[in-house]
Amino acid sequence: MPTSPSERDESAPSISVVIPCYNAAAFLRATIESILGQTQPVLEVIVVDDGSADDSANIAESFGPPVRVIRQPNQGESAARNRGIEAAGGDWVAFLDADDLWLPTKVELQAEAIRSAPADVVCVTGDFLLFGEGQEERLCSLPARYDAPHPLREMLVGFTVHIDCAVVRRAAALRTPFPESILHAEDVIFFVLLRSQGRFLRIPEPLARYRRHGPQQSQEPSHMLRTATSRLAWFVANRDLFADGDEEVIRTTLVNRHLVDHEQAVREGDAMRAAEIATGLVEMAGPMRHLLPAPLVPPQPRRWWRW
């Protein structure tokens, strides 16, 4: 059974929860309830309302302690998360997007892992369930790229930690905050920076439920292309964090991934999409133009028949 904040085990790690929120009134109540219904309670829930025009902030405030609300003008998810981290009182900070849910034992499982974790562990994560839009719920298990021989490189080109599943050391997150100037793949970059400070642990169980629905940025057709170019631009500005030889691997991985999309656009005769991907591919290849076919084949125009 869920326990109340007053029944929190004093020997347990203190965990603050940060929810960045922008116009999430349709989902926010269920999101907060999934935190308050945990089998082990958290220290506090900080909802950072990022300039919502709907009733989000009022919904959050209606819960009372341990939920508290910080209101700010719209500055984006990274700024909202950083504001929550700064305001947090816990030694650890967990994240949950305003339209997603936690499974009831998430905090209990992670607190148990934290108790026995070595001092150099900065993040404990796990798997998640994908649901929504009439699709059958399914388990998503992400590869533990943070344990690879070249973890920063592998994490930058892949997807290895879902934000809803992560609990991180607050001190480490303060040293390497979310990059507020980056609009795409900012969470991926945050975890790369965090991995440069210490190790990650994985609980091989689902911890959260990620809701798929229409307005999400991640559902936009160009999202993956934009995240790829964003990752590469960040790499170029932060080469000193990476090993010799990482650049070619990163560029090759990103180019090969999107050459498949370009070829599909060509086959379908989608000139606009093919041109957009081609522009991104040139940027991803950079000085390594040998990674690209010469030249990128333009798509054949669609033919319209009159009967």
CA distance 164 to 97: 7
CA distance 22 to 80: 10
Pairing of strands 44-50, 15-21: parallel
Q: Which residues pair with 121 in a beta bridge?
A: 199
The DSSP call for residue 27 is H
What pTM was estimated for this model as a whole?
0.89
Helix, strand, coil content of the chain in percent (nearest 5)? 45, 20, 35
The DSSP call for residue 145 is G
pLDDT at residue number 160: 93
**Residue owning tokens 């440069």:** 196
The two counts, helices (H) then strands (E), for the chain are 10, 9
Question: In order of start, what are the domains of the chain with their CATH numbers?
Answer: 11-212 (3.90.550.10), 219-291 (no CATH)
Measured in Å, how far apart are the chain's first and last C-alpha atoms?
A: 68
Q: Nearest 5 degrees, angle CA 288-CA 290-CA 293?
A: 130
CA distance 111 to 94: 11
pLDDT at residue number 307: 38
Question: Helices 223-237 and 186-195 sit at what angle, rounded to 10 degrees?
Answer: 40
Write the pLDDT tens digit of every residue in 211-241.
987 654 444 557 889 999 999 999 999 999 9
pLDDT at residue number 223: 82
pLDDT at residue number 1: 44
Write the pLDDT tens digit of every residue in 114-131.
999 999 999 999 999 999
User: CB of 167 within 8 A of CB of 15?
Assistant: yes
User: CB of 131 within 8 A of CB of 210?
Assistant: yes
b/e per residue 96-109 (b: at least 16 CB within 10 A): bbbbbbbbebbbbb
pLDDT at residue number 141: 94
* Displacement of CA 276 from its chain's centroid (Å): 24
Give the type of residue at 138.
Answer: R
Local confidence pLDDT in tens for the 307 residues of the chain: 454 555 556 678 999 999 999 999 999 999 999 999 999 999 999 999 999 999 999 999 999 999 999 999 999 999 999 999 999 999 999 999 999 999 999 999 999 999 999 999 999 999 999 998 778 899 999 999 999 999 999 999 999 999 999 999 999 999 999 999 998 899 999 999 999 999 999 999 999 999 987 654 444 557 889 999 999 999 999 999 999 999 999 999 999 999 999 988 888 988 898 899 999 999 999 999 999 987 776 554 544 444 3
If you write DSSP's letter for every residue of 35-47 in order, what string do you get? HHT-SS--SEEEE
